[in-house]
Amino acid sequence: MNEKHGGSSGRRMGTESLLSEIAAEVRACTRCPLATGRTMAVPGEGNELTDVLMVGEGPGGREDATGRPFVGPAGQLLTELIRSIGWERRDVFITNVVKCRPPGNRDPQPDEIAACGAYLDRQERALDPAVVVTLGRYSLQRYLPGARIGATHGQLRRSGGRFVFPMYHPAAALHQSSLRETLFRDIRELPAALLAARQAIEEEHAAPLSVAGDGAEASVAGASADAADSLRSGANDDHQLTLF
């Protein structure tokens, strides 16, 4: 999990070619019934060096037409959210739980999510992000099965070896305007969550025997508080926080 944080250029090259290999397979994929209804598959896009992976639900109409993730109305809001903390879309990597549009924008079905999961697994392994931002409930269920969005949004959580930062789906805020404010409030916590996750990862890297059990949870909470403090004291201006 931590090799990237040692920063080898060989690994960077590896990530880029792995991601394009996965994208090529996705574009040709017929592993689930969504293949028949799509115009274009949407593998995902972003920076191969990033520490932040954002995972939505599945392509909508505009995504299906262009082959790019989050370029419709929900995407516009996601772009605004990312910019509101001084980041850009090109600083993160954006993808979805399913890579092809469900007909009529219906919810993706369990067999489709399962079939497509292998691509997301591989993208995740290639990027090895410090934080996965889940957008909406399908993405949340993948990383934190059984978790409720109302109880977890805007908080750094741990899922196996990954740090997860659950957020509401931007499309939900298009229908329910009170969620818009919640989304902007939650994403303001993301830079501190990223620092906290990185700190915990470094600590575990340095002391791999202390990873197991409750100790890991405690160290996340502690690191989060430290990171939040340093942000507040101005030690880390949002704009200066490197994402790579």
Q: Is 70 in the site for ligand URA (CB under 6 A)?
A: yes
By CB under 6 A, name the binding residues for ligand SF4: 26, 29-32, 34-35, 41, 98-100, 112, 115-116
**Gap between the Cα atoms of 192 and 189, Å rounded:** 6
Pick from 29, 34, 56: nearest CA to 44? 56
Q: Look at the block and give the residue holding tokens 């993706």.
A: 108
Q: How far is the CB of 73 from ligand URA (least distance, A)?
A: 8
Choice between 99 and 137, CB closer to ligand SF4: 99
Q: Is 58 in the site for ligand URA (CB under 6 A)?
A: yes
> Taking contact as CB under 6 A, which single stretch among the options 71-79, 113-121, 154-162, 194-202 is the one that binds ligand URA?
71-79
Q: How far is the CB of 116 from ligand SF4 (least distance, A)?
A: 3
The CA-based dihedral angle spanning residues 122, 128, 130, 133, taken in that order and rounded to the nearest 10 degrees: -20
165 in the Ramachandran plot: left (φ > 0), alpha (ψ -120 to 50) or beta?
Answer: beta
Q: Look at the block and give the residue holding tokens 């980041």.
A: 87
Q: Is 43 in the site for ligand URA (CB under 6 A)?
A: no
Residues forming the site for ligand URA (CB under 6 A) = 56-60, 63, 69-70, 72, 74-75, 96, 171
